[in-house]
Amino acid sequence: MSGWLLQRNMSDKLTLGGELTYRTPDKIDGECALGTNLGGQVNLNAHHHILFSIGRDLRGPRRVMAYLAHQWTY
């Protein structure tokens, strides 16, 4: 798997980005997949952050991927 990410800090509280990913086949006759994700991070304070992403495959198996997470840093 390989990928390329572009992200930008919109403010001290918000970071947004986009990612393009390429996955090689996981079996001999399998398909490769090209996908894209959009996501970001909301900094609630210095220790708590909300991470989110949603995306789909553009080529290969048609999959949709998404997540929402809390990150605690100390």
What are the pLDDT digits (tens) for 6-65? 999 999 999 999 999 998 988 888 888 899 999 999 999 999 999 999 999 998 878 899
pTM of structure: 0.81
DSSP 13-65: SEEEEEEEEEE--SSTTPPPEEEEEEEEEEESSSSEEEEEEEEEEEESS--EE
Q: Please report, for the chain, the start and end positions of each structural domain, with discontinuous segments joined by +.
A: 2-72
